[in-house]
Amino acid sequence: MKLATKILWALVLGAIVGVILNITSPELFENADNFLFTPLGTIFLNLIKMLIVPLVFFSIVVGVANIGDPKSLGRMGAKAMIFFLCTTALAISIGIALALILQPGSSGNFETEAVDYEATKAPPVSETLLGIIPANPIDAMASGDMLQIIFFAVFIGLGISYLGSKVESVQRFMEQANELMMFLVTLVMKFAPIGTFGLIASAVGKQGFDALKVMFMYMVVVLLALAVHAIVVYGASLKFLAKQNPLKVIKEYLPALTVAFSTSSSSATLPVSMEIAQKRLGVPKGISSFVQPLGATINMDGTAIMQGVATIFIAQVYGVDLTFIQMLTVVLTAVLASIGTAAVPGAGMIMLAMVLESVNLPVEGIALILGIDRLLDMTRTMINCTGDLTCTLYVAESEKKYEKSDAIQPTETIQ
């Protein structure tokens, strides 16, 4: 049985077990969660997280060293940033439009008096941009600051490229270390079905049906907006910008999507998504190892959709009619906030708090959606990872006309 099929079966089985235990025996579920589901999920997550930093570092160093040209690197970075910002703006616009049409906050009994939530302040965009340069690269790796790791790895890769034969042994070491990381990713993925079962059973079992009933329309609008964004925006981008068959791409990318769904983490999905992009979709290592880690850090299309829907939902619950200018403010604030909160833990809720404050909506309303956010976070992560891959394929296609004879060599495609 293929790995993706095993993971899908694990997803279904985990959801069924979680629901049954939640309904029949909450006490049994709590014991099973403490001693089985959560440990299985934690082991899998930690195995993946263990590989993220070394894989990103070595792959970027090798990719940049192979590219060699700072102009090419700058060109790819500009394309990726423009793509991510444009799709983020489209994502939140789709969320707002569907929320206005379907009115998820106009029906239902929402207890706004008991709502309590304390907003966390995000750092200024300037602070985030200045913080890209690490004062201590080792500390950046220890704390998992992906933007700083990317910067340092690019710096090392450019140095190797300029020095050439003088550091040939260093480059060979980096290439061998990158191959080792890819092998370890393949090894860890053999445990993926078991880890996925534990993660899904735990996540589904913890959700009470009362909360799901009340928030049903909100969930429907978010999921519908995610589906529209994936089919229309990413489908069109794959077809017309990346010159790829969207169905074929998604079929090849399915293992990464299942990992994204079960872990709710773009970073945790990164090792798998990079391997698929390079080995199954033929993306050059230099492009994949640069664009995908960047996307996993700053691309938040799924989160942007949640913010659009949540903003309109909270406005409807509190009986506030937003003007067109206010909705435009929501879009612009979310796009800018996606840069400023790139490396901040819990970035999604921080961004939502900033968006609500920009149009004078009560930030306490965030507490209304926290109860079911874990389930929706799974689907948002799938969209984020799909956006990373779509941008990578677009950049790879657009860079073909700039390629020299051996400047960037794609890896061998697995048939």
The alpha carbon of 310 is separated from its chain's Cα centroid by a whole number of angstroms, namely 19
User: How far apart are alpha carbons 376 and 387 in whole angstroms?
Assistant: 17
Q: Which ranges constitute the DSSP H helices of 190-319? A: 192-205, 209-214, 216-228, 235-236, 246-263, 266-279, 285-298, 301-317
**Does domain 3-402 match CATH 1.10.3860.10?**
yes
Q: What is the pTM of this model?
A: 0.86
Q: Which of 350, 331, 356, 375 is nearest to 201 (CA)?
A: 375
pLDDT of residue 351: 83
| C-alpha to C-alpha distances, 48 to 93, 116, 217, 251, 380, nearest whole angstrom | 33, 35, 34, 22, 19
Q: Which residues of the chain have pLDDT under 70?
A: 1, 107-125, 128, 207-214, 339-346, 403-415
Phi, psi of 321 (to 5 degrees): -95, 115
SS3 133: coil
Taking only Cα atoms into account, the Rg of the chain, rounded to an integer number of angstroms, comes to: 22
Q: What is the pLDDT of residue 83?
A: 96
pLDDT of 7: 86
What are the structure tokens assigned to 55, written together?
A: 């894989």
pLDDT of residue 408: 47
